[in-house]
């Protein structure tokens, strides 16, 4: 049984964070495990409270996994503070978990900050140098690189700068592209650039798309896929989840985590 671990915050609304990650792992047939870094009071209308765990509690959760079950891949989501980032980085190094996917969660859909300002330095110093893949959206890539990203060339420059921080592979997501008709993700593996373009779906129900994409990528790495093919599957997974949407709540609703499997089952008939 292939195994994947998510180290992230809990979303009480079920659309993002730990909940989205575990749903994605299950749909992609890997055994999912979790380390909760913070509890959020959250729904489709926004984040109403953030309650971080202590570094000690997070370390104990990681050690419980590392000393018994182990994992084939790890993703990080909301880490919130520099102390938490340092603790997580130390444990990942301790257990030599090489398939590390970093989703640098900084701001919620409604605008709430999910990462303290001083934690950005810790992320760049401790976490990115041990990451196999980082999956920032455009605003996150701007914060991490200091660049303003408006064009495809800007994305490439940002990817180059992120690799200089020690990351092996960069995926800059295109959900914030200015093009209204399509979005383009950029993959840079330190040698070559690859782009993945999808039709943009007109919907407000995109809560948790970043978490879901990075979780799908992590699940595929856990099964032994290359980064390139893991990204291909993750793109297909999130595109299906957005296209076959569900209506939950009164704000930015979640995506449909069942859609990818349903699409494949219909295609195999």
pLDDT band at residue 265 under the 50/70/90 scheme? confident
From the candidates 75, 132, 155, 173, which is the catalytic residue? Answer: 173
**For residue 105, what pLDDT is reported?**
85
Instruction: With a cut of 80, say whether residue 97 has pLDDT above it.
Output: yes
Whether pLDDT at 5 is above 90: yes
211 is catalytic: yes
Query: Average pLDDT for residues 242-262, to the nearest whole number?
Result: 94
Closest by CA position to 35, among listed 71, 60, 72: 60
The pLDDT assigned to 109 comes to: 59
Query: Could you say which of 23, 40, 211, 218 is catalytic?
Result: 211
Residue range 108-126: mean pLDDT, rounded: 77
The confidence score (pLDDT) of residue 111 equals 56
Which residues have C-beta within 8 Å of that of residue 18, sequence separation ≥ 6? 6, 8, 9, 10, 11, 34, 36, 77
Smallest Cα–Cα separation from 158: which of 176, 170, 174, 168? 170
Of the residues 208, 212, 235, 253, which is catalytic?
208
**Cα separation of 47 and 50, whole Å?**
8
Average pLDDT over residues 238-249: 94
Catalytic choice (206, 212, 218, 255): 206
Q: Does the annotation mark 209 as catalytic? A: yes
46 is catalytic: no
Catalytic status, residue 135: no
Residue 42 has pLDDT above 80, yes or no: yes
pLDDT digits (tens, 9 = 90+) for 66-83: 999 999 999 999 998 999
Q: According to the model, what pLDDT value does residue 117 have?
A: 78
Query: Within 13 Å of residue 115, how many CA atoms lie on the same side as its CB?
Result: 24
Active-site option among 209, 212, 218, 255? 209
Taking only the tens place, the pLDDT of each residue in 191-237 is: 999 999 889 888 999 999 999 999 999 999 999 999 999 999 999 99
């Amino acid at each position: 049984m292939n195994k994947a671990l998510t180290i992230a915050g809990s979303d009480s609304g079920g659309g993002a964070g730990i909940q989205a990650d575990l749903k994605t792992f299950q749909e992609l047939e890997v055994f999912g495990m979790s380390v909760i870094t913070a509890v959020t009071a959250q729904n489709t209308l926004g984040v109403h409270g953030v309650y971080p765990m202590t570094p000690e509690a997070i370390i104990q959760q990681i050690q419980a996994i590392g000393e018994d079950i182990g994992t084939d891949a790890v993703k990080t989501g909301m880490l919130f503070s520099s102390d938490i980032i340092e603790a997580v980085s130390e444990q990942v190094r301790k257990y030599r978990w090489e398939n590390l996917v970093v989703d640098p969660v900084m701001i919620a859909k409604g605008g709430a900050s999910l990462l303290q300002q001083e934690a950005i330095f810790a992320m760049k110093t401790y976490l990115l140098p041990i990451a196999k893949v980082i999956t920032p959206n455009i605003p996150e890539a701007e914060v991490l690189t200091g660049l303003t990203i408006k064009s495809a060339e800007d994305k490439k420059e940002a990817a180059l700068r992120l690799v200089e921080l020690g990351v092996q592979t960069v995926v800059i997501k295109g959900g914030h592209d200015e093009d209204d008709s399509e979005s383009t993700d950029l993959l840079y593996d330190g040698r070559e650039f690859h782009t993945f373009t999808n039709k943009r779906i007109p919907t407000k129900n995109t809560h948790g798309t970043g978490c879901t994409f990075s979780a799908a990528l992590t699940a595929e790495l856990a099964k032994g896929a290359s980064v390139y093919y893991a990204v291909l599957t993750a793109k297909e997974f999130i595109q299906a989840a957005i296209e076959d949407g569900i209506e939950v709540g009164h704000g930015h609703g979640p995506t449909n985590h069942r859609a990818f499997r349903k699409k494949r089952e219909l295609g195999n008939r």
